Amino acid sequence: MDGVMASADGFRNWPVLHNEVPINALLQGTVSEILDQAKLALAEGCRCLKIKTTHVPLDAIPHLLSVIRDVSACTFRLDSNRSWNFDTCMQVAQDLVGLPVEYLEEPLRKSESLPHLIARCPVPIALDETLREIGADELGRYQGAVALVLKPTLMGGFETCSRFAQAGASLGMNSVVSACYESGVGIYALGRFAASLERIGAAGLDTYSHIQNDLLTTRLPLNSYTFCSSTELPSVDESTFLD
């Protein structure tokens, strides 16, 4: 079962500060594959695209974003999975100036250089993996970061993420609640959690679109890349637990 799974009564006890939580689309693959995925997501109403840059040449990134932006208004998040050195990151960021990039998601191979990057980079920076290596009381070292990518499944649960969200909000950082390929039960919990936080950005719940066999009798309605806080949790298909 999902590590973030909670009871229905627990969901009802969480405050609802946002009636709707936007969701970013998760795009990955080659340039042509990402273009195709972007067109579909934008046509369905998505306005925030997270792009995994693993298979995209660095010099192709600005053109890729420009082409997508010409299709429809949207913002971008770029995730290189901690694969860039400092100089590469600065060069890529410089090439992206003027494009609607919300942030680079923890791009540096050496995390000890993050505070220096945050202070100098012309494109905003979000924290991800570092949040599993520090405590919430250490966030002040990263002042200037614009967002925290909160993954309750990997960070020890909702209470830990709540502490980071509160500490981040006091520093002007948004919370981006994100999934790790949980089932519909976990995605529902993550959506409700995001709706309970003070400062949020579009949630990273699009991994749900890659889950073919869910635990729920009906799939969550994440139409137009939006989680509605008033959505009731569909019943769980108990047959999925049988051999």
Residue with tokens 């997501």: 41
Query: pLDDT grade, residue 6 (50/70/90)?
Result: very low
DSSP 154-209: HHTSHHHHHHHHHHHHHTTPEEEEB-SS--HHHHHHHHHHHHTSSSB--BB-GGGG
Query: pLDDT grade, residue 1 (50/70/90)?
Result: very low
Q: Where are the beta strands (DSSP E) in the chain?
A: 20-22, 25-27, 48-52, 75-79, 101-105, 125-127, 147-150, 174-177, 226-228
> What does the pLDDT look like over 106-164, one tens digit per residue?
999 999 999 999 999 999 999 999 999 999 999 999 999 999 999 999 999 999 999 99
The pairing of strands 20-22 and 226-228 is: antiparallel
> What does the pLDDT look like over 26-60, one tens digit per residue?
999 999 999 999 999 999 999 999 999 999 999 99
Strands laid side by side in the 147-150 sheet:
25-27, 48-52, 75-79, 101-105, 125-127, 147-150, 174-177
> What does the pLDDT look like over 221-241, one tens digit per residue?
998 999 999 999 888 876 665
The domains found in the chain, sorted by start residue, are 17-241 (3.20.20.120)
12: three-class secondary structure by DSSP: helix
67 pLDDT exceeds 90?
A: yes
Question: Using only C-alpha atoms, what is the Rg of the chain?
Answer: 18
Which residues, other chains included, contact 2 with Cβ-Cβ below 8 Å and sequence gap of 6+?
153, 182, 183, 185, 186, 189
243 pLDDT exceeds 90?
A: no
* For residues 166-193, average pLDDT: 96
- Given this model, what pLDDT does residue 61 score? 98
- Given this model, what pLDDT does residue 212 score? 84
Q: What six digits make up the tokens of 65?
A: 């974003």
